[in-house]
C-alpha cells in the first residue's frame, strides 16, 4: 500500500505539472474563482436598482410634479418626461421598464374625493424588476398623494402589528447569497472538468498507454488525478473565500471556515470521481463537454442552491438526495450563513462521504475495465 500511495503521489505531481503548462485551464480556474464569482454576485442583482422609468404627465399639476419627483436613485433612474405617443414605441424598444400615465384633471379629482386611476405600463420581460417595481411604484404614489392631501403621511391602524425579523441577511443583499452559490457551483464544475479533461488528455496524447506498461495500477492512476485536481480546486476555494467573498464583496462568514473546507474536500472527492467516470465514458473532449451538460446542469439547478428543494416535485427531491451537491449546498448554507457547527451538519458530511465513496468505487471499477479493454 505504501508503494501504491507513493506512485499516486508522483503521478499526482505529474498532473500538477501538466496543469501548470495548460494556460487555458489556469486562466479558467483563476477567472472562475475571482472575476466569475464577483460578477455573478454583483451583476445579477435581484434588487430593484436603477430601473428605467418614464412619466406621461397629462395633468401638469403640483401633485403630478410631486409624483414625478419622488422617483430617484438608487431604485429608479431619473424619470423621462414623455408624450403619450412615445409610450408604445419606447416599451417596444426596451427603453423603459415602467411608464406612468397620469391622466388629465388628476389633482382636481383627488381633491374632490374621487378615486382617479394612474395607468402603469410594465415591461414584464424584465421579470424580477417588474414584480418588485410595481409594489415600489404603488407605495410611492400612494404616499405622495396622501401627503399632498393631508399634508402628512398617514398610516392605517391595523388590529395587529407584524414585526418581521430578518435573519442571516438583514439587508436582503443578493450578493451575499449569489457569491456563495456561485462558489459552490464552480467547485462542482471545475473539479469535474479538470479530472475529466486530464483523463481525456492522457488518452489523446497516448500517455495512458505508457502508464499501462509501467508498474502502476488503475488505482494509482485514478487516485493521482483525483487528489491533484481536488487540491487545485480546494486551494482556489480557500483563496476565493478570503479575498473575493470576504474581501472584495465583504460578505460576513458566520461559521467555521475549517468545517466548510472539510466539507468542500469531501465534495471534491465525489465530484473528481464523477469527472473520472465521465472521462472514462467519453472518447474525446467534445463528448466530455456534451456529457457534462447532461450532468452539471441538473446538479446545479436541482440541488437547492437556486430554488428550495421543498418546492420541487417529490420525485426530483428523492433523486437529488443521492447527489453530493445537494448535501454540500445544505452544509455550505448552514455553516457560512447560519454559523452551524459539526453537531448540525454531520448528517450532510456523512451523506457526502457515503456518496463520494460510492462514486470513487464505481469510477475505479469503470476505469479499470477501460484499461483492460485497451490492454
Query: pLDDT by residue (tens digit) across 245-290?
Result: 988 888 888 889 999 999 999 999 999 999 999 998 888 888 888 8
Best CA proximity match to 370, nearest among 285, 287, 279 = 279
Going along the chain from its start, the domains and CATH numbers come out as 2-43+173-374 (no CATH), 53-150 (3.40.1710.10)
Best CA proximity match to 223, nearest among 338, 120, 361 = 361
**Given this model, what pLDDT does residue 152 score?**
47
- Residue with the larger pLDDT of the pair 126 and 141: 141
Pairing of strands 98-102, 80-81: unpaired
* pLDDT tens digits for range 42-56: 776 666 778 899 999
**Which residues fall within 8 angstroms of residue 195, CB to CB, at 6 or more apart?**
225, 226, 229, 272, 273, 275, 276, 279
pLDDT at 155 over 70: no
For the sheet with 53-57, list strands across it. Answer: 80-81, 53-57, 98-102, 119-122
Under the banding of pLDDT at 50, 70 and 90, the label for residue 351 is: very high
**Given this model, what pLDDT does residue 159 score?**
63
Residue 63 near residue 106 (C-beta atoms within 8 A)? yes
Residue 235 near residue 32 (C-beta atoms within 8 A)? no
Which pTM does this prediction carry?
A: 0.77
**Given this model, what pLDDT does residue 344 score?**
92
**Given this model, what pLDDT does residue 153 score?**
45
Residue 359 near residue 273 (C-beta atoms within 8 A)? yes
**Given this model, what pLDDT does residue 162 score?**
67
Q: Average pLDDT, stretch 153-159?
A: 52
Q: What is the mean pLDDT of the chain?
A: 86
> How many whole angstroms separate alpha carbon 201 and alpha carbon 203?
5
What is the grid cell recorded at 61? 399639476
Q: Average pLDDT, stretch 196-225?
A: 81
**Given this model, what pLDDT does residue 45 score?**
62
Q: Average pLDDT, stretch 107-131?
A: 83
Place of cell 492512476: 221
**Given this model, what pLDDT does residue 187 score?**
93
3-state secondary structure of 22: coil
**Given this model, what pLDDT does residue 111 score?**
86
Stretch among 126-130, 245-249, 328-332 having the lowest mean pLDDT: 126-130
Amino acid at each position: 500500500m505504501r508503494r501504491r500511495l507513493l506512485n499516486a503521489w508522483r503521478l499526482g505531481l505529474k498532473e500538477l505539472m501538466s496543469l501548470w503548462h495548460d494556460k487555458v485551464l489556469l486562466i479558467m480556474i483563476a477567472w472562475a474563482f475571482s472575476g466569475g464569482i464577483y460578477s455573478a454576485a454583483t451583476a445579477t442583482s435581484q434588487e430593484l436598482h436603477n430601473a428605467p422609468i418614464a412619466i406621461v404627465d397629462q395633468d401638469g399639476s403640483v401633485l403630478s410634479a410631486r409624483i414625478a419627483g419622488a422617483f430617484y436613485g438608487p431604485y429608479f433612474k431619473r424619470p423621462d418626461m414623455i408624450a403619450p405617443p412615445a409610450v408604445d414605441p419606447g416599451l417596444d424598444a426596451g427603453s423603459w421598464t415602467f411608464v406612468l400615465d397620469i391622466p388629465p384633471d388628476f389633482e382636481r379629482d383627488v381633491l374632490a374625493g374621487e378615486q382617479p386611476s394612474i395607468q402603469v405600463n410594465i415591461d414584464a420581460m424584465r421579470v424580477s424588476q417588474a414584480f418588485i417595481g410595481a409594489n415600489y411604484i404603488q407605495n410611492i404614489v400612494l404616499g405622495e398623494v396622501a401627503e399632498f392631501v393631508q399634508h402628512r403621511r398617514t398610516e392605517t391602524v391595523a388590529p395587529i402589528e407584524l414585526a418581521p425579523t430578518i435573519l442571516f441577511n438583514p439587508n436582503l443583499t443578493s450578493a451575499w447569497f449569489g457569491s456563495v452559490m456561485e462558489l459552490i457551483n464552480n467547485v462542482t464544475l471545475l473539479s469535474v472538468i479538470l479530472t475529466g479533461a486530464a483523463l481525456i488528455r492522457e488518452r489523446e496524447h497516448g500517455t495512458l498507454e505508457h502508464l499501462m506498461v509501467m508498474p502502476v495500477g488503475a488505482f494509482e492512476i485514478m487516485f493521482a488525478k483525483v487528489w491533484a485536481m481536488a487540491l487545485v480546486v480546494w486551494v482556489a476555494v480557500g483563496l476565493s473565500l478570503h479575498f473575493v467573498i470576504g474581501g472584495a464583496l465583504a460578505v460576513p462568514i458566520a461559521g467555521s471556515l475549517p468545517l466548510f473546507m472539510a466539507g468542500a474536500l469531501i465534495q471534491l472527492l465525489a465530484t473528481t470521481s464523477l469527472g473520472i467516470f465521465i472521462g472514462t465514458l467519453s472518447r474525446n473532449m467534445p463528448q466530455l463537454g456534451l456529457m457534462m451538460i447532461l450532468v452539471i446542469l441538473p446538479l446545479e439547478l436541482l440541488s437547492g442552491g437556486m430554488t428550495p428543494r421543498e418546492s420541487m416535485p417529490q420525485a426530483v427531491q428523492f433523486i437529488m438526495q443521492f447527489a453530493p451537491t445537494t448535501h454540500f449546498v445544505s452544509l455550505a448554507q448552514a455553516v457560512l450563513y447560519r454559523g452551524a457547527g459539526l453537531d448540525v451538519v454531520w448528517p450532510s458530511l456523512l451523506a457526502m462521504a457515503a456518496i463520494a465513496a460510492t462514486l470513487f468505487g464505481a469510477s475505479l471499477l469503470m476505469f479499470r475495465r477501460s484499461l483492460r479493454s485497451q490492454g
